[in-house]
Amino acid sequence: MTFNKDDFVTLTIDDCGTSGEGIGKVDGYTLFVKDAIIGDVIKAKIIKAKKNYGYGRLIEIIKPSKDRVKPECPVSRQCGGCQILEMSYEAQLKYKYNLVKGNVERIGGISDYELLPVLGMEKPYRYRNKAQYPVGMDKNGNIITGFYAGRTHSIIECNDCLIGSEKNSAILETIKNWMKKCNIEPYNEKTGSGLVRHILVRVGYHTDECMVCVVVNSDDIDKKAGEILVDMLVKLRSRNINIQSVVANTNKENTNVILGKKCKTLYGRGYIEDYIGNIKYQISPLSFFQVNPAQTEVLYGKALEFAGLTGSETVWDMYCGIGTISLFLARKARKVYGVEIVPQAIEDARNNAKINGIENAEFFVGKAEEVVPAFYDEMKMKAAAGDEDAERSIHPDVVVVDPPRKGCDQILLSTIADMQPLRIVYVSCDSATLARDLAILEEEGYKTVKVQPVDQFAHTVHVETVCLLSRKD
């Protein structure tokens, strides 16, 4: 049967897509419907019709799924940041389990492995230690902050995101009052005018330290206005908001990138401190740091378990970033080498090692597929000259990879195979690219042993996964 745009249909949702959309069929015609979940019986309007499938808008829930809950967020449908907020948390974990399972087995072609239950969150709200709010003007000329509606740059006003810190709303209100007081306008994307583009807030999970970073369309903030901003923010301490750092970040580019490269500290330090486990990290506005420290400890704890360290091992950490996993592993390993292409991240990693008194971690700047072979050539020369430590460094016991969403470079996977580690621990934020890379590593002589999903992003479709692979021979 053929369907057209603007047709109304009734269907049962029996599957869920990778973006959280409900999937159902009408007379064999597949329809993808945002905000619908498995088990719903709905009425939908077709908004885009292809030959064999289409996209629909949810019009009415005729019979709700047993897993449907009322979203606590009043703007959840408009915002779209939390794609599966309508699911009970138990149903969310089941969805993520099936997502990982489907990708590993369908894309990776892997069957003989152990898939462990998803490690869920004790408290699936207020877990994010970082929030980035665009600043704009509503149609009545009022300054607003919130989040972009899905696939647009239209700001949905929201000062209290329920997965973010409770402190954020007071900080946002303070900055809006500062803008009014100092006659400062928000940035206008269309005209390129206005000053304030975004507000970045970081809150230390363990330390409770707060950083406020105002992203501005200028090389600087007027000195007097900056002093007023600092004074207004510091007064929030009386409300148990521990402001430790106020920073201005310059971004004058016509770009979707939120932060520019230049930061100026207006108050306190240019960073806050927080912990993962017992490792302390200094976090600047530009630092990459996991947004859910509680579940990151769970994730890294599982990675440490899979690494099977006894204190005598050599470990390579590819895509090491600011050393979060490297330093976590260094306490249990003989030697850890970290590689990262971003120079600032390596500088942060070395500094984080220093402030934690960790001396058995060494960091390299560059592409791992280039750094590692060069390092090996050097170690082979030293080993030939009788250096026993160099001999032990040639073939590591464990390689850890935690790549970006696009997964590992093919050359890097071949490089890892050439290193012949006994175990590979793969940490992934995208189970589809993970599955692709697992298939490649299996062809290179490794066996996928265990797959452990970890929920770090409740109410969204994202799930972290840590895998253990062992050498087949």
347 contacts: CB under 8 Å, gap ≥ 6? none
Dihedral sign, Cα of residue 183, residue 189, residue 190, residue 191: positive
Residue 7's Cβ-count burial label (10 Å; 0-12, 13-18, 19+) is middle
168 three-state secondary structure: helix
First to last CA, the chain: 54
Strand runs (DSSP E) across 110-238, as ranges? 114-115, 130-137, 143-148, 155-157, 196-203, 209-216
Catalytic residue among 16, 210, 320, 429: 429
Q: What CA–CA distance (Å, rounded) separates 180 from 120?
A: 42
Nearest in space to 139 (alpha carbons), one of 152, 157, 160, 151:
157
> Which residues have C-beta within 8 Å of that of residue 255, sequence separation ≥ 6?
none
C-alpha–C-alpha distance, residues 340 and 400, integer Å: 13
331 close to 358: Cβ distance less than 8 angstroms: yes
161 is catalytic: no
What number of other Cβ atoms are within 10 A of residue 15's Cβ?
13
Return the structure tokens found at 260.
Answer: 């520019």
Residue at token pair 């462990």:
116
Q: Is the four-CA dihedral 205, 206, 212, 213 of positive or negative sign?
A: negative
Element (H, E) at 97: helix 89-106
Give the catalytic positions in this structure.
Answer: 429
